[in-house]
Amino acid sequence: MTQPGTIDRQPGTPRTVAAVLGSGSWGTTFAAVLADAGCEVRLWGRDPDVVAQVNTERRNDKRLPGIELPHGIRATTDARDALAGAGIVVVAVPSQSARETLAALREHVEPHAVAVSLMKGVELTSDERMSEVVADALALPESRIAVVSGPNLAREIAEHQPTATVVSSTDPGTAALVAAACTTGYFRPYTNADVIGVELCGAVKNVIALAVGMAQGRGFGLNTTATIITRGLVEITRLGLALGADPATFPGLAGMGDLVATCSSPLSRNHTLGKHMGQGLSLDEAIAATGGTAEGVKSCRSVLDLARKAGVDMPITAGVFAVLHEGLPVDDMARALLSRPQKAESVA
């Protein structure tokens, strides 16, 4: 009998073999989605205790306490073992460690494989989006790379709460293949071809969620939250359009959708970390109190770099950077944002 949320396969249909690199909260959850969608899944992680628990108890209590994982996931610390025969290679490590991680695994990736980035960041050393880093590190053409991004808080998906996402690739065949591999009764991927827009939305919404968290931690209410979300979307759109994104992406799942989820949820690490800062913790204290990967802490610097190079104004992102890395008090950030010269409300 099929478990709730899983997809029935036709008898005799060969299973897609997928390797997921990174056994954190999203890597483990996406491995579960792929398994529920009928794939044979290998989950590669660095932590032998996590790997052992996935294999013996079908749980990852470190990142997803209380969640029972489906059958069909085999975890391993051996990258060669994880990647052998895998037609889909999913990358779910922190953005700033992706290049180094992939360089070490590259020789084991099958020549026909498609790579999928789940990461929402921009590399500090190069200002590259993660699909660009994956393409460089694995020496793959962009036609064999997809990204998955949307309002996708891992724990809610691990609980099979109904969720949609975007699978984006410049190659429609690659997007369709990845979407088919991760379609379940609770997870619905849409496809698009705007990799630039989808990735920028995913990276910058983390910075905006930090700003919302700071405001809420300081005690400001929903007017402030809605103001930051709305003007945050303007910043994301401005940067995206300057870098060649499709305007249709920003009001979609990867844009507005993810912004709303991340800025609203206590499950978001970026939102939570921002809240700790707003309550007066230092950056180091806030990182320790949050746990997990809050990509916006580092990516705000590379996003600002991209904006400067493109001649785009991103005042909220600049404020978040100043609070996190230059010691600006949250009240001073609010004052600086509100005292900017008056202007018409538009994206320009």
Ligand X SMILES: NC(=O)C1=CN([C@@H]2O[C@H](COP(=O)(O)OP(=O)(O)OC[C@H]3O[C@@H](n4cnc5c(N)ncnc54)[C@H](O)[C@@H]3O)[C@@H](O)[C@H]2O)C=CC1
Ligand Y SMILES: O=C(CO)COP(=O)(O)O
120 lines the binding site for ligand Y (CB under 6 A):
yes
- Sheet order of strands, 163-168 included: 73-76, 40-44, 17-21, 88-91, 114-117, 145-149, 163-168, 187-192
205 counts as catalytic: yes
17 lines the binding site for ligand Y (CB under 6 A):
no
**Cα separation, 212 vs 120, whole angstroms:** 18
Q: Select from 37, 91, 261, 333 the one that contacts ligand Y (CB under 6 A).
A: 261
For residue 120, say whether it is annotated as part of any ligand binding site. Answer: yes
274 lines the binding site for ligand Y (CB under 6 A):
no
Of 62, 205, 275, 309, the active-site residue reads 205
- Estimate to the nearest angstrom the gap between the alpha carbon of 216 and the chain centroid: 23
174 lines the binding site for ligand Y (CB under 6 A):
no
Residue 262 binds which of ligand Y, ligand X, none (CB < 5-8 A, kind-dependent) = ligand Y
SS3 label, residue 21: strand
Q: Please, are residues 232 and 208 in contact by the beta-carbon 8 Å criterion?
A: yes
**Hey, which residues between 154 and 183 contact ligand X (CB under 6 A)?**
154
For ligand X, the closer CB: 100 or 332: 100
How many residues in total does the chain contain? 348
The tokens for 347 are 């994206």
263 lines the binding site for ligand X (CB under 6 A):
no
Show the binding pattern over residues 53-82: x = contacts ligand X (CB under 6 A), - = does not.
----------x-------------------
Q: Select from 18, 42, 45, 116 the one that contacts ligand X (CB under 6 A).
A: 45
129 lines the binding site for ligand Y (CB under 6 A):
no
- Phi, psi dihedrals of residue 148, rounded to the nearest 5°: -120, 125
**Cα separation, 84 vs 109, whole angstroms:** 7
The residues binding ligand Y (CB under 6 A) are 120, 151-153, 206, 209, 258, 261-262, 268-271, 294-295
